[in-house]
């Protein structure tokens, strides 16, 4: 049921109907009124994901679905897509394409549900990322297994596995950098390094290529004569090459950001009771 606070975010509830739990039904107008219009999303979100996700939101909301329930369903569909990619013959791989776009729209839909229920949590944001990354992390290896199944070639297994590792390691280093920056700033003050315009533009370009590439790549499974092999090469390019380039830029940024003196905890003058004082210079 919508709380009083949540209803404040929906000033134009247009239906007097009640859900089975007693809460008010919402409409598409209510969903669109709930957005912060100052947030600018990428084109594929604005032109494809949002229009569909917004129209589906009332169906799920009015039946009592929560954001986390939808995220769990999305994670299950992503896992199913990987199983189908590995096991289905090439002529049926269009099912994988459909499941990808269902998951893509679901990623926007669960955010709508969290906002409309006034139930956004840090766990929900974390769990949403878990569901997102499963598909992208598993796709190169799953596609490699499918290529090996159809051709008997062994090298795709190594290449697909490496691409999955690079993509995962990129994400791990990114989160580790955020942790270390927070730790450093808590001990010795704000970070002084800021990426220059060139590096920022290159990072933005790389992110844009990967995001749009992820969106387009499943369509290759529908192209006669390209299909599985084309999709496999696309995953190598995106999760291997471009994620690898992003990783190198991330390691450089990490080095520049974190190159600051600190006192080792094993140093003779380190005071565990007052680490901040001991680590300042």
Through-space distance between the first and last CA atoms of the chain, rounded to whole angstroms: 55
- Which tens digit of pLDDT belongs to each residue from 211-224? 999 999 999 999 99
Those residues whose C-beta lies under 8 Å from the C-beta of residue 45, and which sit 6 or more positions away, are 108
The CA distance from 60 to 110, in Å, is: 9
For position 71, what pLDDT does the model report? Answer: 96
CB 135 within 8 A of CB 127: no
Q: Give me the phi and psi of 18, to 5 degrees please.
A: -120, 140
For position 14, what pLDDT does the model report? Answer: 45
Mean pLDDT of the chain: 88
For residue 24, list its beta bridge partners: 18
- Which tens digit of pLDDT belongs to each residue from 18-40? 666 667 789 999 999 988 877 77
CB 238 within 8 A of CB 210: yes
Distances in Å between the Cα of 172 and the Cα atoms of 104, 123, 175, 251, 273 are 22, 18, 5, 11, 31
Domain boundaries, the chain: 1-120, 153-281
How buried is residue 30: exposed, middle or buried, by Cβ count under 10 Å (0-12/13-18/19+)?
buried
CA angle 50/56/57 to nearest 5° reads: 85
With CA atoms as reference, report the closest residue to 134 among 77, 175, 96, 179: 77
- Which tens digit of pLDDT belongs to each residue from 168-220? 999 999 999 999 999 999 988 999 999 999 999 999 999 999 999 999 999 99
- Which tens digit of pLDDT belongs to each residue from 219-247? 999 999 899 999 999 999 999 999 999 99
Q: What is the mean pLDDT of residues 12-17?
A: 50
With CA atoms as reference, report the closest residue to 281 among 268, 263, 266, 269: 263
- Which tens digit of pLDDT belongs to each residue from 26-77? 999 999 998 887 777 888 888 989 999 999 999 999 999 999 999 999 999 9
DSSP code, position 237: I
Distance of CA 133 to the CA centre of its chain: 5
């Amino acid at each position: 049921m919508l709380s009083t606070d949540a209803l404040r975010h929906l000033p134009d509830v247009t239906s007097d109907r009640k859900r089975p739990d007693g809460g008010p039904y919402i409409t598409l107008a209510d969903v669109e009124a709930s957005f912060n219009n100052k947030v600018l999303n990428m084109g594929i979100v604005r032109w494809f994901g949002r229009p569909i996700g917004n129209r589906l939101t009332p169906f799920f909301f009015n039946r009592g679905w929560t954001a986390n329930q939808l995220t769990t369903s999305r994670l299950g569909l992503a896992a199913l897509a990987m199983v189908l990619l590995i096991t289905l013959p090439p002529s049926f791989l269009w099912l994988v394409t459909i499941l990808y776009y269902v998951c893509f729209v679901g990623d926007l839909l669960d955010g709508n549900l969290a906002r409309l229920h006034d139930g956004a949590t840090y766990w929900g944001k974390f769990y949403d990322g878990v569901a997102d990354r499963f598909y992208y992390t598993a796709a190169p290896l799953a596609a490699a297994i499918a290529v090996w199944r159809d051709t008997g070639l062994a090298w795709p297994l190594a290449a697909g596995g490496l691409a999955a590792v690079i993509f995962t390691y990129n994400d791990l280093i990114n989160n580790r950098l955020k942790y270390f920056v927070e730790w450093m700033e808590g001990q010795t003050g704000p970070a002084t390094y800021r990426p220059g315009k060139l590096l920022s533009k290159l990072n933005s370009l790389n992110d844009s290529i990967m995001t749009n590439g992820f969106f387009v790549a499943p369509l290759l499974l529908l192209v006669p004569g390209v299909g599985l092999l084309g999709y496999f090469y696309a995953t190598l390019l995106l999760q291997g090459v471009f994620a690898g380039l992003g990783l190198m830029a991330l390691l450089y940024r990490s080095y520049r950001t974190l190159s600051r003196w600190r006192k080792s905890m094993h140093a003779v003058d380190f005071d565990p009771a007052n680490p901040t004082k001991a680590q300042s210079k």
